Amino acid sequence: MDSRFNHKLKNLKKALLRLQEGSAGSILSELEKDGLLQRFEFTFELAWETLQEFFTDKGLEGIFGPKEVLKKAFELGMIEDQKIWTQMMTDRNLMSHIYDDKQSKEVFQRIQKTYVGELEKLVATFIK
């Protein structure tokens, strides 16, 4: 029987693939950029939720919410740069509550330049 962790990881891999597809283009319409921002939001959500399920599977109980999960992942060496992941969390929260053209362009650039790579690294840690 598939564990909740395996189910989350499967969904994370799918979401990351879709994010990678969206971030590969160099010239995107405003609608495509908006779609990429949305893909980032749900991929980030799946990332921290997958980590939380991983911890639960390993017997690490009581780690709830993205802040605690990311802190534990950093402590365990599952993510290398806590500052980047904290910025990802901030950007995810910002994009889901307020839409500002200037900020969305900045987040869009971080997705393409940094965040996709960080998410790829995380998925790779689960596959090892």
pLDDT in tens, 25-34: 777 788 888 8
57 and 7 Cβ atoms separated by less than 8 Å? no
pLDDT on residue 99: 73
Q: Give the percent of the chain with pLDDT over 90.
A: 74
**pLDDT over threshold 60, residue 1:** no
Confidence of residue 87 (pLDDT cuts 50, 70, 90): very high
CATH number at residue 52: 1.20.120.330
Q: What is the residue range of 70's domain?
A: 4-127
Pick from 113, 118, 115, 93: nearest CA to 103: 93
pLDDT on residue 45: 97
Residue type for 7, please?
H
pLDDT on residue 25: 72
Number of domains in the chain: 1
The packing angle between helices 65-75 and 82-97, to 10°, is 160
Residues contacting 78, CB < 8 A, separation 6+:
51, 122, 125
Helix count and strand count (H, E) for the chain: 6, 0
How high does pLDDT run on average in the chain? 92
Going by the DSSP 8-state scheme, the letter that residue 36 receives in this structure is H
Going by the DSSP 8-state scheme, the letter that residue 34 receives in this structure is H
Confidence of residue 105 (pLDDT cuts 50, 70, 90): confident
Q: What is the pTM of this model?
A: 0.93
Considering all CA atoms of the chain, what is the largest pairwise distance in Å, rounded to the nearest integer? 46
Looking at per-residue pLDDT, the higher value among 59 and 99 belongs to 59
